[in-house]
Amino acid sequence: MKTASRPTHSEGRPAPSGAADRGAAPADATTFLDPATLSRIGNLELLARTVVEGFINGLHRSPHLGTSLDFAEHRAYMPGDDTRRIDWRLWARTDRYYVKEFEADTNTNLSILLDVSSSMSYTSGPVSKLDYARYLAASLAWFAHGQRDRVGLTTFDSEIVEFVPPSARHLPALLHALARARAERPGSLREPLAIASEHLRWRSMVLLISDLYAEPDQVLDALEQLRQRGNDVMVMHVLDSAELEFPFDESGMFEDLETGERIPLLPARMRERYRAAIHAHIAELSARIGDHGMDYSMFDTSRPLDYALFDFLSRRERLARVR
């Protein structure tokens, strides 16, 4: 059963006490990167740096956002480089220090496409989907910038809202644009992504962050416009834990945040049917996006951000070895 439209949300309901599957936490887990704690950090630059340092420490090695680990070139060693990447054979021949760079290390473009349609404003706890998506975008932009990649941002609802072209110098502008983002109008995927793909003059890593409330055929149609241009497309599907579990007990009016339509519901009667529909929707998106050579990850806004990014980057690295 597909989720054909955005699930409606209860008015005035308390935040759920439970959450969807949060995955296994690293052994040295702390609560510092819990979304509720992150929501109290007003500066996105500080937040991004904090999160990135957290998941890099968790990986215990130098992670890569790009998908290729094939050797690309040597470059001169610089203070701060990982000494494990020094080519000691080349040092023996030249008496100079060089580090190996891989295709994932070479400068590339990371273009982040952030859905700011009105449904992204939903929250059952301290952090909305838009806030969590902002944290993801800021952290990965900071991470890519640290790898000397060019970073850019497009925010969209039913049209392009703001555009920051990829550049090595645009991280501050990107963070300011994220801070300004508001989820206020209904949205769509196909038209904004078509316009965004036209702005990508070079092959890029393209990251879509959205709650993906559209039919899978519509989602794939929108994403194909990006993939067919040769881009490495990644999809982060952001959902609130209440959207996954539907924990509401009392009957009441539920409102669709996109259309404003209000309908009365008895949650106890709808819960199992709703859960089956949303999980089938997620499973179909995951399978079909993966079958088209794109990366799909689902993010529960109750999950600590460093754990989520740890899993995401680890998965990217595993996929790189398969491809």
37-70 per-position pLDDT tens digit: 888 888 999 999 888 887 766 554 555 566 554 5
The tokens of 82 are what? Answer: 């990982």
Amino acid 71: pLDDT: 55
Amino acid 292: pLDDT: 93
Yes or no: domain 28-64+107-322 corresponds to CATH 3.40.50.410:
yes
Give all strands of the β-sheet with 252-255 in edge-to-edge order. 9-10, 252-255, 262-265
Counting as low any pLDDT under 50, the low residues of the chain are: 1-31, 60, 69, 105
How confident is the model over 204-263, as pLDDT tens digits? 899 999 999 999 999 999 999 999 888 999 999 999 999 999 999 888 888 888 888 898
Amino acid 53: pLDDT: 81
Amino acid 102: pLDDT: 59
Amino acid 9: pLDDT: 42
Residue 199 backbone dihedrals phi, psi, to 5 degrees:
-80, -15
Would you give the distance in Å from CA 302 to the centre of its chain? 14
The tokens of 260 are what? Answer: 């404003």
Would you give the distance in Å from CA 69 to the centre of its chain? 22
Amino acid 58: pLDDT: 58
Would you give the distance in Å from CA 246 to the centre of its chain? 23
Domain-wise residue ranges, the chain: 28-64+107-322, 71-102
The tokens of 154 are what? Answer: 């497009």
Task: Report if pTM > 0.75.
Answer: yes
CB 12 within 8 A of CB 255: no
The residue among 243, 200, 259, 192 whose CA lies nearest residue 219 is 192
